Structure 1
Amino acid sequence: MTTRRNFIGTAGAVGAGAILTGTTVPASFAADTAPTAPDASTTQAARKKLARDNIRAVDTGMRTNYDAMRGNLTKHLDPIIIVNNDMVGGTYYLVQNGTVVETVKPVDEIFEMAKSIAHTPLGIYSICAPSLDPKYIVPAQVPYTDPHDLEMVAYNGPKNTGWVTPLQDFSKTLDTARKTLTDARLPADLTTSCGYIIDRGQAFIADTVKRGEFSMDAFEAFSADVYPSIRTNMYYSSRYQIDGVSALMTRWRQRVGDPAWSNLYVLVFSLWTTFELNQNSIILKNFMDQSKTDSHLIDLMTAQIVSDPVAVGLDNLARIVMDNIAAEMVFSTDQSTADALKGRPDLLSTEILKLLGEDGTGANTASSVTKGQVNQLVCPFHNRSATTPAVRA
C-alpha cells in the first residue's frame, strides 16, 4: 500500500515540493536551482563558494514552493474573523473562502468617549514627563520604578520649561470638552465622572503652570484623586464593548452556521501594550468552540496599528495552517519538535536551551558537551520513540 512517506520519498526535491504545495514548478526554476558542477580548474575557495551556493539553492527552492502554497491557501481559508484593535473598540472583518464578506465596527461610540476623557492624566504626563527630575523618585514608587527608565524619560530635565505652552493648549482642549460635555448625551454616571476628571485636570495644569515646575508628587496626588472616576469610565468602555461584540458574534454565528463556526479562526491585531489579555480576545473567546480556543484564537502583536489587517492576517494564518499539517508530516517521530513548528517557539529553541544549560549561560552543560552529544541533542528525532504508533484519521 502506498503511504504518504514512501510516496513522498519517491519524488525528487523539486517534485516533492510541488506535490506538497499543489503548485506547478516552472522549468526555468528547476534549471536555475539545479546543482552546478565545478570546473576542474576552479580554485578551492571558488569550489567552496559554489558548493555552498548549491546548498542554499535547496532552501531557495523550498521557500519558493512554500510561498506559492501560502498564496494559494489564502483563497481557501474559512471561516475567519480578523480584528484590528483600533481606537474605537475594534474593526471586525468576517472572511469566508479568503474573501471579506462583511466589515463592522461593532462598539458604540460611548466606548471611545469614556476612554478619551480617562486619558486626561496620560495626556498631561506625556507633555511634562520629559522635564521631570531624573534624580528623584517618589518614595512609595521606588520598588517599582527603574531609575534608568526614569532617566531616559526625563530627557529634558527639571530646568526645561518647554512644557508650559503645550500644557496650556491641552487645558484649552479640556475646557472645550467640558463646555459641551452634556450635549454628548452620555449616561449620567459617565457624564459625572468625565466632568470630574476634566475639572481636576484643569486645576492641576493651572497649579503646575503657576508653580513653574512639574512634580511627580503633585502629579501622583492628582492621578490618585481622579482614579475612582477613571474606573467608572473603564466600566462603561468595557460594558459597551462587550455588548457590541456579543451582538455581532451572535449574528455572524447565525450567518456562518454552527458546523462551520466550530472551526472558526480568530486573529486579533494589537499593540504590545495591549497584547496580553487583550479586551477583544477575552470577549471573543466566549463565542468560540472552547476545545479549540488555544489553537484557533490567535493574538498577533504589532508595533503599530496595521494598515491592511486582512492581507496581513490571511498571510499569517496561511502560514499557521500550513505548518500545523507540515509539523506532523515532517517531524512525525518527534512530537515536541512538531509542536514547536506548530506553535510560537522557535524550532531551535529547545536545542539551544539544552546546549546553553539550565541557567541559559552554558555554565552547567554546554562547556562539557561532546561532539557526539551535540549530534544527539540536535537530532530532530531523539525525543520520540521510533516505535511510536502512527495515528490515522
Structure 2
Amino acid sequence: MSTRRSFLGSATAAGVMAGLVASPAAAEDGSGPSPAGGPGARRARAREAIVAVNSGMRSHYAALKSELITRLSPVLVVQNDARGGRFTLVHEDTQESLHPVGEVFELAKSVSHVPLGVFSIIAPHLSDRIPNLPGADRIDPHDLAMVAFADAAATDWITPLRQYADTLAAARRQLGRAGLPPELVASCAWVLDRALAFIEASAAARSFDIRSFEDFSHSVHAGIRTNMRYAAEAQIAGVRGLLRKWRARIGEEAWQDLYTVVLSQWATSELNQNSIIIRPCMNPAKVATHLIDLPAAEPLSDPVFVALDNLARIVQDNIAAELVFPSDRAAADALKGPQDLLADEILDQLGAPAPAPVPAPAPAPAPAPGTASYVAPAGAGRGTCPVTRTAPAPRQDGTPHGPGPR
C-alpha cells in the first residue's frame, strides 16, 4: 500500500499549466506581425486580451482540479484487463491495487478467443462475396472491403495460421495438467480440437471461405458458452470478495460516498462486466452519479491518475453547474454531464432534432434470496452484494455449454 500525495504530486503539478490556449501574435491575414501602431496590431492586442480571459480561467480551473485530485476519497478505480481487472482503492492518503479474479477467468477466456484469433489471420483474404449466412444483411459491404483488403487468391495466410495452430496444439497438450474443472477441460478441448481441424483442412486445401469459417465457429459456440459461465463465476466471486473486504476496512460511512471509475475500451464500455458486478454493491442513492464508465482507446500507462483526473473534472463541474447556472437547469445539466454546453445552440441553428435523452441507469437487480443489498452505516460492512443469474438450460444434443471474445 502506498501513499498517493507523493505519487500524484509531480504529475498534477506538471499538468496545471499544460494545454492553455496560446494567444494570437500574428496579423489576421497570416503575413506576420503588423506595425506596432497599425490597426492590425491594435486588433491583435485586443484579441489577446480577450483570449487571456479564457486562459486565466483554464489556469485556475486546472489548479483547482490539481488540488482536488489529491483529496478525492474513497475512490475505486478499475482497469479492465485480461485477468478480470486491476482494482485500486484510493482512501484518504493511501492506495492499494489488486487483481482479485481467479485464474480460471483468464484461462477460460483465453480459449474462448480462439475463433477471433483464427479470424484475425484469415480476414484480410475474405472475398467480398457473402453467402447466405444468418445476419449477412447486417454486414456493411464497405466495412467488409476495409477488412478484406488482401488478394483472396493469395496464400500468405497459411504460415501464420499454422504457427497459431502450434500455439493451440501446445495448449491442448497441457490442458489436462492445468487443474481446471472437468467440464471446463472438456469445453476447452472441444474448442481447441475444432480449431485445429479447421486450420489443418484449410491449410491442406490452401483455401477457405466464409462458409467454412462459419461452420467452424458455429461448432464451437456451445463450448464457448460453457467457458463464459466459468469466467463469469470467477469474476463475480473475486470482485465481490474484494469489495466486501475493502468495504469492511473503510467502514460504511465512507463506503456510502464511494466513487467508482471503470476504465475500459469503447467496445466494452456499456454493460461493462465489472460495472455490472460493482453497481449493486454501491449506495443505491448515489450509484447513478458515482459509478462512471470511462472508455479509453488503449491501455493506459497511469490508469489511476487518468481516473482521478477525470473524476476531479466531474466532481468540480457538478458543483460549478448548480452555482454558475442556478436559474438555468438545462445549462446546469449540460455542464455537469457529458453534453457540450454549445450542443443545444448548434442543434437549434442546424435545425436538427435533439437526440433522445439518455435513459436513467437501470435500478440495481433485486437481491438473490438470502442476501442483503446496500446496508446503512450501522451495517459495519457485513452486507453482501446481491447478484442474480440464471443457469443455462441443459442442451438436448449432449454438446457442452459454452463465450464470446470479451
The corresponding residue for 2:85 is: 90
Equivalent position amino acid for 1:354 in 2: D
CA distance in 1, matches of 2:253, 2:45: 54
Of residues 42, 59, 66, the one that matches 2:37 is: 42
The corresponding residue for 2:224 is: 230
CA distance in 2, matches of 1:312, 1:165: 41
The corresponding residue for 1:133 is: 127
Q: How far apart are 1:138 and its partner, in Å?
A: 4.0
Higher helix share: 1
| Other structure's SS at 1:122 match | helix
1:56 maps onto 2:46 in alignment? no
Does the CA-based 8 Å contact 2:130-2:136 persist in structure 1? no
Of residues 188, 193, 199, the one that matches 2:187 is: 193
CA distance in 1, matches of 2:81, 2:236: 15
The corresponding residue for 1:68 is: 63
The CA RMSD over aligned residues, in Å, is 1.8
Judged with a 3 Å threshold, the aligned counterparts in structure 2 of structure 1 residues 359 and 320 are, in CA distance, closer, same or farther, namely closer
Question: 1:25-72: CA deviations, max 9, x gaps?
Answer: xxxxxxx9xxxxxxx972222111111111000001111111111111
Judged with a 3 Å threshold, the aligned counterparts in structure 2 of structure 1 residues 246 and 41 are, in CA distance, closer, same or farther, namely closer
Equivalent position amino acid for 1:209 in 2: A
Does the CA-based 8 Å contact 1:138-1:216 persist in structure 2? no
Q: How far apart are 1:332 and its partner, in Å?
A: 1.1
Of residues 113, 119, 140, the one that matches 2:113 is: 119
CA distance in 2, matches of 1:50, 1:155: 53
Equivalent position amino acid for 1:212 in 2: R
- The structure number with the bigger radius of gyration is 1
Question: 1:293-344: CA deviations, max 9, x gaps?
Answer: 1110000000011111111111111111111111111111101110111111
CA distance in 1, matches of 2:323, 2:114: 54
Question: 1:341-376: CA deviations, max 9, x gaps?
Answer: 11111111122112222358xxxxxxxxxxxxxxxx
| Other structure's SS at 1:103 match | strand
- Give matches, 1:17-32, under 5 Å: none
Q: How far apart are 1:101 and its partner, in Å?
A: 2.4
Question: 1:240-297: CA deviations, max 9, x gaps?
Answer: 0000000000111111111111110000000011111000000000100111111100
The corresponding residue for 1:284 is: 278
Question: 1:47-99: CA deviations, max 9, x gaps?
Answer: 111111110000011111111111111111010000000110000000013x4
Structure 2 segments unaligned to the other structure (5+ residues): 1-22, 24-34, 355-406
Of residues 79, 85, 100, the one that matches 2:74 is: 79
Does the CA-based 8 Å contact 1:134-1:157 persist in structure 2? no
CA distance in 2, matches of 1:350, 1:253: 41
The corresponding residue for 1:255 is: 249
1:184 maps onto 2:178 in alignment? yes
Question: 1:183-232: CA deviations, max 9, x gaps?
Answer: 00111111000000000000000111112122100000111110011000
The corresponding residue for 1:213 is: 207
CA distance in 1, matches of 2:131, 2:336: 45
1:151 maps onto 2:119 in alignment? no
CA distance in 1, matches of 2:161, 2:96: 42
The corresponding residue for 1:309 is: 303
CA distance in 2, matches of 1:188, 1:242: 21
Of residues 157, 171, 180, the one that matches 1:163 is: 157
CA distance in 2, matches of 1:41, 1:238: 70
| Other structure's SS at 1:277 match | coil
Equivalent position amino acid for 1:120 in 2: V
Give TM-score scaled by structure 1 length.
0.80
CA distance in 1, matches of 2:148, 2:154: 10
Equivalent position amino acid for 1:220 in 2: E
Q: How far apart are 1:136 and its partner, in Å?
A: 3.4
Of residues 97, 103, 107, the one that matches 2:101 is: 107
CA distance in 2, matches of 1:314, 1:101: 12
Give TM-score scaled by structure 2 length.
0.77
Judged with a 3 Å threshold, the aligned counterparts in structure 2 of structure 1 residues 357 and 224 are, in CA distance, closer, same or farther, namely same
Equivalent position amino acid for 1:243 in 2: A
CA distance in 2, matches of 1:351, 1:137: 47
Percent identical pairs in the alignment equals 47
Judged with a 3 Å threshold, the aligned counterparts in structure 2 of structure 1 residues 49 and 138 are, in CA distance, closer, same or farther, namely farther
Runs of 4+ in 1 over 6 A off after TM superposition: none
CA distance in 2, matches of 1:335, 1:63: 24
CA distance in 2, matches of 1:211, 1:359: 55
The corresponding residue for 1:268 is: 262
Equivalent position amino acid for 1:76 in 2: R
